[in-house]
Amino acid sequence: MSGDSKMCATVETIKYKPGTLQEANELTKKLQPDLQAIPGRRHMIAVWNDDGVEYVISIWESPEAKAAAASKVDAIGSQFGDVFEKFEAEDFQNVWYVVG
- The pLDDT of residue 85 is 92
CB-CB contact of 17 with 84 (8 Å): yes
Query: For residue 26, how far is the Cα from the chain centroid?
Result: 16
* The pLDDT of residue 2: 46
Is residue 93 within 8 A of residue 59, CB to CB? The reply is no
pLDDT in tens, 44-71: 999 998 888 999 999 999 999 999 999 9
pLDDT beneath 70, residues of the chain? 1-5
List the domains of the chain with CATH numbers: 8-92 (3.30.70.100)
pTM of the entire structure?
0.84
DSSP state of 97: -
Q: How many other C-beta atoms can be found within 10 angstroms of the C-beta atom of residue 63?
A: 14
